[in-house]
């Protein structure tokens, strides 16, 4: 159902009064998301299409390194969290059921996955393993803000590796570094992988994947062959701070605000020892499983894409993330030759498998073009009276709002589809 006359795309002329981040403003205005409460957001149909594009990129790269997808509950017993020492985290939602049993709403799933590893991975023959899922996370965020960037509920992909020893853990970690690098490249974002802080996760080391943009709440320092979160930089040999400037081995580092998109950690045996996740080796010895964990947030990838590529007219999606490849605009009233021509183009594109949003609403050109620029699909095709006269479909490339060579109207559909496919593949 991709006719705009029937599609739920509630665009707005004005941004929410409390919106500061560009992504917050434009995602609401473009009809992608709507707020239900503080830090609680609903993904509307076009926004959810973008979200699921990100999910699919992540899923494909996780599967390529041997990840096995599963699903663990958000609602969990409190006891595993007590054993790992994380029950008292301030941002963790805690509750009791009608029988008085203590429960938590998970903000991440180390406890749950380690609980299952203790049940199912008792032998060295069961290792290594990589398990992952896409699941809702709950966090009692003190100050929700910036639309989907800082929320109380969000979907995260979290993966967990299980190995016999530190060398195995390091190998699994490097597998994920490669997978995450490929994920980031496929999204079309500008990004950095930087040294990170282990924080509440604990463990032996961490990296963060950052999308540079002014709305980011994190800050990275960058130099030749070096990138780190500012919190980590000062613990790096050779790095010092002089006033507001950072230097490494005497060379200045530049600072840049960024959105944290993903975070990966070498957990070691912290969780396996606390929760009894052990395996028996070839000699009969019982040893703790070595673990690492790997998180990435689809919503943060989306917000970073909006922040990095938007212009004064609206969103400009990278090709890999766009809700639709083509935004087809019909000019002219129903039952006119130009509308019939637009309907025919729509049906041709739809039959070919091209993902197209068709603006068939009874509105003027100005309003239709404004909505198309706001939503930011990579290509806008326009069919109107001039198209009938010239035998050509007008084409605009959203990135830069530049006109492209027109496409043929009428005649052999294969000519239209071939030219459109070639244009599509040339886009960023």
| CATH (domain of 175) | 3.30.930.10
Answer with the one of 253, 279, 309 that is the final residue of a domain: 309
Contacts of 88 (CB under 8 A, 6+ apart): none
Q: Is residue 110 part of a domain?
A: yes
**Diameter over CA atoms, the chain:** 83
Tell me the per-residue pLDDT of 308-348, one tens digit each, with 9 for 90 and over: 999 999 999 999 999 999 999 999 899 999 999 999 999 99
| 217 shares its domain with 354 | no
Q: Which residue has the tokens 């910036």?
A: 146
Does residue 42 sit in the same domain as residue 122? Answer: yes
What is the per-residue pLDDT across 78-133, written as a single tens digit (0 to 9) for each?
999 999 999 999 999 999 999 999 999 999 999 999 999 999 999 999 999 999 99
- Expressed as residue numbers, the domain containing 403 is 326-425
| Beta carbons of 404 and 426 less than 8 angstroms apart | no
Question: What is the arithmetic mean of pLDDT over 279-290?
Answer: 97
Structure tokens, 231: 């919190």
Q: What is the pTM of this model?
A: 0.94
* Domain contains 82: yes
Q: What is the CATH number of the domain that holds 383?
A: 3.40.50.800
- Please report, rounded to a whole number, the percentage of residues in the chain having pLDDT higher than 70: 98
Asked if residue 203 and residue 85 are part of one domain, the reply reads yes
Number of domains present in the structure of the chain:
2
Planar angle of CA 420, 29, 137, nearest 5 degrees: 95
- What was the pLDDT predicted at 203? 61
375 within a domain of the structure (yes/no)? yes
60 plus 117 within the same structural domain: yes
Q: Is 114 in the same domain as 216?
A: yes
Report residue 318 as tokens. 């990278």
Confirm if 279 and 291 have CB atoms less than 8 A apart.
no
* pLDDT tens-digit map of 259-268: 999 999 999 9
Q: Are residues 296 and 354 in the same domain?
A: no
320 domain-assigned: no
Domain assignment present for 370: yes
pLDDT surpasses 70 at 190: yes
If one compares 19 and 1, the residue with the highest pLDDT of the two is 19
Does residue 340 share a domain with residue 300? no
Could you tell me the two tokens for 48? 């959810």
Q: Tell me if 350 is assigned to some domain.
A: yes
The three state secondary structure string of the chain is CCECCCCCCCCCCCCCCCCCCHHHHHHHHCCCEEEEECCEEEECHHHHHHHHHHHHHHHHHHHHCCCEECCCCCEEECHHHHHHCCCCCCCCEEEECCCCCEEEECCCCHHHHHHHHHHHCCEHHHCCEEEEEEEEEECCCCCCECCCCECCEEEEEEEEEEECCHHHHHHHHHHHHHHHHHHHHHHCCCCEEEECCCHHHCCCEEEEEEEECCCCCEEEEEECCEEEEHHHHCCCCCEEEECCEEEECCEEEEEEEEEEEEEEEEEECHHHHHHCCEEECCCCCEEECEEEEEEECHHHHHHHHHHHHCECCECCCCCCCCCCCEEEEECCCCCCHHHHHHHHHHHHHHHHCCCEEEECCCCCHHHHHHHHHHHCCCEEEEECHHHHHHCEEEEEECCCCEEEEEEECCCCHHHHHHHHHHHHHCCC
Domain contains 5: no
Asked if 29 and 15 touch (Cβ cutoff 8 Å), the reply is yes
Task: Pull the structure tokens for residue 285.
Answer: 């010895």
Assigned domain for 17 exists? no
CA pair distance 143, 152, nearest whole angstrom: 9
Tell me which of 242, 274, 309 is where a domain ends.
Answer: 309
Contact 275, 115 (CB under 8 A): yes
Q: How far is CA 130 from CA 11, 176, 294, in A?
A: 41, 10, 10
- Residues 368 and 232 reside in one and the same domain: no
Which residue's entry shows tokens 């707020």?
35
Which of 274, 309, 344 marks a domain boundary?
309
Q: Is the pLDDT of residue 237 over 90?
A: no
**CA angle (159 as vertex; 156, 163 as ends), nearest 5:** 165
Half-sphere exposure of 174 (CA within 13 A, CB side): 5
Based on the number of CB atoms within 10 Å of its own CB, is 33 exposed (0-12), middle (13-18) or buried (19 or more)? buried
Mean pLDDT of all residues in 2-21: 94
Same domain for 285 and 396? no
Closest CA to 35 of 13, 15, 54: 15
Instruction: Name the band, by pLDDT with cuts 50, 70 and 90, for residue 227.
Output: confident
Strands 245-248 and 239-242: antiparallel
Residues 200 and 235 both lie in one domain: yes
Together in a domain, 149 and 64: yes
Q: Are residues 347 and 236 part of one domain?
A: no
């Amino acid at each position: 159902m991709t006719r705009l006359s029937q599609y739920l795309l509630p665009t707005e002329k004005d941004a929410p009064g409390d919106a500061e981040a560009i992504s917050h403003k434009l995602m609401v205005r473009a009809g992608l998301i709507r707020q239900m409460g503080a830090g609680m957001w609903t993904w509307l149909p076009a926004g959810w299409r973008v979200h699921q594009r990100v999910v699919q990129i992540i899923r494909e790269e996780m599967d390529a390194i041997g990840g096995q997808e599963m699903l663990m509950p958000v609602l969990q017993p409190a006891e595993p969290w007590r054993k790992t020492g994380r029950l008292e985290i301030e941002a963790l939602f805690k509750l009791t059921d009608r029988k008085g049993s203590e429960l938590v709403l998970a903000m991440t799933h180390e406890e749950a996955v380690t609980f299952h590893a203790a049940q199912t991975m008792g032998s060295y023959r069961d290792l290594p393993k990589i398990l992952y899922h896409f699941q809702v996370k709950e966090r009692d965020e003190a100050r929700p803000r910036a639309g989907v960037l800082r929320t109380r509920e969000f979907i995260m992909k979290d993966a967990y590796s299980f190995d016999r020893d530190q060398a195995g853990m390091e190998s699994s970690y490097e597998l994920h570094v490669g997978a995450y690098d490929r994920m980031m490249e496929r999204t079309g974002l500008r990004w950095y992988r930087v040294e990170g802080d282990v924080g509440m996760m604990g463990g032996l080391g961490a990296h963060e994947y950052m999308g540079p943009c002014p709305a980011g709440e994190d800050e990275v320092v960058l130099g030749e062959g070096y990138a780190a979160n500012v919190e980590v930089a000062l613990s790096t040999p050779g790095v010092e701070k002089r006033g507001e400037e950072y230097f490494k081995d005497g060379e200045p580092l530049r600072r840049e605000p960024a959105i944290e998109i993903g975070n990966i950690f070498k957990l070691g045996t912290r969780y396996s020892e606390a929760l009894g996740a052990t395996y028996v080796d070839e000699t009969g010895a019982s040893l703790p499983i070595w673990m690492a964990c790997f998180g990435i947030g689809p919503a943060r990838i989306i917000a970073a894409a909006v922040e990095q590529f938007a212009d004064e007219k609206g969103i400009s999606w990278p090709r890999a993330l766009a809700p639709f490849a083509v935004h087809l605009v019909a000019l002219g009233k129903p039952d006119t030759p130009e509308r019939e021509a637009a309907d025919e183009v729509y049906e041709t594109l739809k039959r070919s498998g091209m993902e197209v949003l068709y603006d068939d609403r009874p509105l003027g050109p100005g309003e239709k073009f404004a909505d198309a620029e706001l939503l930011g699909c990579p290509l806008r095709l326009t069919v109107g009276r001039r198209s009938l006269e010239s035998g050509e479909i007008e084409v605009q490339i959203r990135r830069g709002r530049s006109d492209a060579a027109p496409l043929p109207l009428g005649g052999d559909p294969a000519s239209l589809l071939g030219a459109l496919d070639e244009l599509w593949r040339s886009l960023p």
